[in-house]
Amino acid sequence: MNVLFDNFTLFRKGFVGTVELTLAAGLIALVVGVLMAGCRVSPVRPMRLIGGAWVTVLRNTPLTLLFFAVVLGLPRFGVVLPFFTLAVLALGCYTSAFVCEAVRAGINTVPVGQGEAARSLGMNFGQTLSLIVLPQAVRAVIPPVGSTLIALAKNSAIAGSFSVVELLGTYRTLNELGYDIVATFLWIAVGYLIITLTLSAVFRILEKRLEVAR
């Protein structure tokens, strides 16, 4: 217990860092993921290709390699940004590929007849998408996007080893200060459990709220 109370500020800083990292990267992942999913289902071939390439490359790249390229490589390439921003970019882009696939699968679950009915009522593409297809797709998309964002929270641990302040990184300081390392890891574990369990609870509630009998 002492480890936690003696170094509460440090733990809090790491915890907040992980939460910030997760939220910022999650936002990027959602925006880019939905955009890329839009590309992948669009009738325009070059856009489909761009979306496909984005997903294939990012899903098959180890996140550590991506961090290596973005956090250590980009600055040498003339792109100089704070470590935190670079970490958010790496995490966000990586996760966006998974979000994209979830959204695309969700759009595919909407029966073709729904869109046909909308068009026969005279709706244009924008209306069909925003009023008919997306609201139905969202329900199918929530569980996979939820697990993707939980994976994101867990993946953010890697950022700590690339000089970003986050929860896992706190062990280093505490180890140097001579605290019991097992207890330190116990509290780090508790911190991650709080984040992942909260996220899964939020998504369970969302799922319940938006559930509809088909």
Which spans of this chain sit near another protein (rule: CB under 8 A)? Answer: 41-47, 50, 56-57, 59-65, 68-69, 72-73, 76-79, 107, 110-116, 119, 125, 128-129, 132-133, 154-158, 161, 168, 171, 175, 181-182, 185, 188-189, 192-193, 196-197
State in angstroms the smallest separation of the CB of 206 from another protein. Answer: 19
State in angstroms the smallest separation of the CB of 99 from another protein. Answer: 16
Q: Which two structure tokens, joined as six digits, stand for 2? A: 């002492």
Nearer to another protein, 56 or 85 (CB): 56
State in angstroms the smallest separation of the CB of 117 from another protein. Answer: 10
Contact 54, 34 (CB under 8 A): no
Backbone angles phi, psi at 57, to 5 degrees: -65, -50
Q: Which two structure tokens, joined as six digits, stand for 46? A: 């070059």
Q: Which two structure tokens, joined as six digits, stand for 168? A: 């896992």
Q: How far apart are CA 101 and CA 90, in angstroms?
A: 18
Nearer to another protein, 132 or 141 (CB): 132
- Angle 134-155/181-210 helices, nearest 10 degrees? 180
Q: How far apart are CA 65 and CA 5, in angstroms?
A: 36
Nearer to another protein, 178 or 209 (CB): 178
State in angstroms the smallest separation of the CB of 71 from another protein. Answer: 10
Nearer to another protein, 57 or 209 (CB): 57
